[in-house]
Amino acid sequence: MMRGHSRYGRIFVTYPLLVLISFIGLLPFYWMVACSFKTNENMFLMPLQWFPNPINWNAYGDAWKAQDFTRYFLNTTFIAVAITFGNLLLGSLAGYSLSKFRYFGRGVLFLLILSTMMLPLEVTMVPLFLIVKKFGWPNTYEGLIVPFVVDGFGVFLMRQYLKSIPNELIEAARIDGASELRIYWQIVMPLCKPALAALGVFTFREAWDMYIWPLIIVTKDSLRTLPLGISLFMSSFGTSWDQLMAVAAIGTLPMVLLFFFLQRSFIQGISISGLKN
């Protein structure tokens, strides 16, 4: 009886609902891409044009030429990759230290690191800027990378994951006379691959998204990141919507690709962010 009930429910409620939700989720993506192929005259046509006609092939090329987007793209990629690697390396080292060693102050250190997850950048951006200024790092890659090279979340995630790795494996390697660094690199790290992948994708997404910090410390064109480039492009005289949508689409593409090729890690990174002991 219940099965029958739920079957009708599925056909008449669940699936229409799913279609509606998917529509809402995908509409901005569709609209962005569709409008990047519209001509500017048709952009605000009433009634609205749902499919670009005629198709305007020039927006992508024109937009890319209008500003140095290649540079912005490479900058963002470089910064995001560097931050990701930093988090993987330092986060796993710290997580390893916190999970597999006993030493004085471990609990306090863990709490210290964990508490930074509660500390949004927006709270510290003003003094952080002054500190980075003191290092002479405004307008440098260091200034964009170093403050974010490790994060409370990464340490937390790695520690949780490493706890599940049996100590015997490490002990056995120690008895075999392997050095500590070697144990970390050749035994522990390979076992962490799923966690590393999840953390990597998660960090990369966050780094790709970074806006407020580059906005504060970057003034040189040669250091602009893609989000800065896009918002600058939006606030430049005479930017047309088709070009703006084209640039937006290109800025989203890497994330979409990352999602489709590393879907599992992508989702895992987020669901692990919800783990708590």
Partner 1 sequence: MRLFKRFLAVVLLVSVTWICSSTVDAATAPKQTKPGFAFPTENITIEVWWHEYGPFTAYVKELIEAYKKLHPNVTVNATIASSTDMNQKLTVALASGTGPDIMDADASYYVAYYAKGILEPANLGVFGVKSYPELAARYVSGGLASGTFDGKIYTLPYQGNSMSLFINNKLFAAAGLDPKKDAPKTWKDLMALGPKLKKVEGKRTVQKAFEFPYHSPRWQLQDLQPLTEQFGGKLLSDDGKTAYLNSPETLKALTLWRDVTKACGDPKNTKSTASNPNQDFLDGFTAMWITGPWATPQVQASPIKNDFTVVGLPQVNPAKPHTMVYGWAWGVNKNKPENSKIVAWDFVRFMLSKPDEWLAKAGFVQPIKGVSETPVAKKFPFFNVHMKDVQTATWYMRSENVNEIAQAVGRAVDSVVYDDADPKTALDAAQAQVEKILKK
Partner 2 sequence: MSASGSTQSRSLRKLFRLNIAAKQALFAYAIILPTLAVIVIFRFLPMLQAFYISLHEYDLIRPPTFIGFRNFIDLVQDPLFLQSAWVSFIYVVFSCVPVWVLALALAVLFNREIRAKNFFRSATFMPVVMPAVVNAVVWTFMYHQDGVVNTILAWFGIDPIPWLRSSKWALWAVILIGIWRATPYYMVIFLAGLQAIPQRYYEAAQIDGASSWNQFRHITLPLLKPTTLLVMVMSVIVALKVFAVPLIMTGGGPADATRVLPLFIYQTAFEFFKMGRAAAMSVFLFAAVMIFTIFQIRLFSRGED
Cα distance between residue 36 and residue 240, in whole Å: 10
Binds 134: which of partner 2, partner 1, none (CB < 5-8 Å by kind): partner 1
Neighbours of 219 (CB within 10 A): 9
Task: Confirm if 87 and 151 have CB atoms less than 8 A apart.
Answer: yes
Q: Which of 5, 126, 190, 235 binds partner 1 (CB under 8 A)?
A: 235
10-69 positions binding partner 1, by CB under 8 A: 44
100-139 positions binding partner 2, by CB under 8 A: 101-104, 106, 109, 112-113, 116, 118-131
Binds 120: which of partner 1, partner 2, none (CB < 5-8 Å by kind): partner 2
Q: Which residue bears the tokens 């994708």?
A: 201
63-122 positions binding partner 1, by CB under 8 A: 104-105, 108
Task: Confirm if 265 and 197 have CB atoms less than 8 A apart.
Answer: yes
CB under 8 A: which stretch of 60-68, 97-105, 160-168, 192-200 binds partner 2? 97-105
In angstroms, what is the minimal distance from the CB of 87 to partner 1? 23
Count, residues near partner 1 per rule CB under 8 A? 23
SS (H, E, C) 144-158: HHHHHCCCHHHHHHH
Cα distance between residue 117 and residue 155, in whole Å: 10
Q: Give 10 or 106: the residue with its C-beta nearer to partner 1.
A: 106
Indicate whether 185 belongs to the interface with partner 2 (CB under 8 A).
Answer: no
Indicate whether 136 belongs to the interface with partner 1 (CB under 8 A).
Answer: yes
Burial status of residue 139 (CB atoms within 10 A of its CB: 0-12, 13-18, 19 or more) = middle
Cα distance between residue 128 and residue 90, in whole Å: 21
Handedness of CA 257, 259, 264, 270 (dihedral sign): positive
Q: Which of 216, 250, 255, 262 binds partner 1 (CB under 8 A)?
A: 216
Q: Give 66 or 187: the residue with its C-beta nearer to partner 1.
A: 66
Q: Give 134 or 276: the residue with its C-beta nearer to partner 1.
A: 134
Neighbours of 12 (CB within 10 A): 10
**And the tokens for 52?**
């670009």
In angstroms, what is the minimal distance from the CB of 31 to partner 2? 6
Indicate whether 270 belongs to the interface with partner 2 (CB under 8 A).
Answer: yes
Q: Which of 6, 236, 263, 271 binds partner 1 (CB under 8 A)?
A: 236
Q: Which of 1, 3, 4, 25 binds partner 2 (CB under 8 A)?
A: 25
- Nearest CA to 124 among 212, 190, 21, 26? 212
Task: Confirm if 67 and 228 have CB atoms less than 8 A apart.
Answer: no
Is the backbone of residue 119 left (phi > 0), alpha (psi -120 to 50) or beta?
beta
Cα distance between residue 136 and residue 129, in whole Å: 10
Binds 259: which of partner 2, partner 1, none (CB < 5-8 Å by kind): partner 2
Indicate whether 169 belongs to the interface with partner 2 (CB under 8 A).
Answer: no
In angstroms, what is the minimal distance from the CB of 214 to partner 1? 12
- Give residues in contact with partner 1 (CB under 8 A): 44, 104-105, 108, 130-131, 133-134, 136, 138-139, 216-217, 219-221, 232, 234-239
